[in-house]
Amino acid sequence: MSEFVEYLKEVFIDFGQIQARKMFGGYGIYHQGVMFGLVADDRLYLKTDTETAKVFETKGLGPFEYDKGDKMVKMSYHLAPDELLDDPQEAAIWAKRSYDVAVRAKTLKKPKSQKSRAWGRN
């Protein structure tokens, strides 16, 4: 575990317990089994949707992007504001917002088997 990821456990103390899992050269940041953040190159990104992304973008905080061969892929995670790294109360506000987005996104995704049954297919 990187020192930065360990530090995030302190940053999010007012939000609640977080877990980090290695993934793709970085870490997924989880709360109650739901991924609401990611760390790449010791930079924290938080889960966004179309509405919350606007808040990040007005602060000049861009999306997480990675190079996929011939194109750049943007993910629904945006760079977290630096000020939350020094303020557990502020971190809790941003984490809660991103956690809620992640929960909504998770509930919108139905397993393929449920989708098939919903349309009367097996």
22-45 residue pLDDT tens: 998 899 999 999 999 999 999 999
What residues contact 40, with CB distance under 8 A and at least 6 apart? 25, 26, 64
Q: List own/partner pairs for 51-58 with CB under 8 A and 24 or more apart.
A: 52/97, 52/98, 52/101, 53/78
Q: Which domain holds residue 75?
A: 3-118
pLDDT at 116: 47
| Domain count for the chain | 1
- N- to C-terminal Cα distance for the chain? 44
Mean pLDDT of the chain: 90
Q: In this structure, are residues 48 and 62 in contact, taking their beta carbons and an 8 Å threshold?
A: no
pLDDT at 110 over 90: no
CATH number at residue 46: 3.30.1460.30
Distance CA 104, CA 76 (A): 13
Mean pLDDT throughout 52-78?
Answer: 92
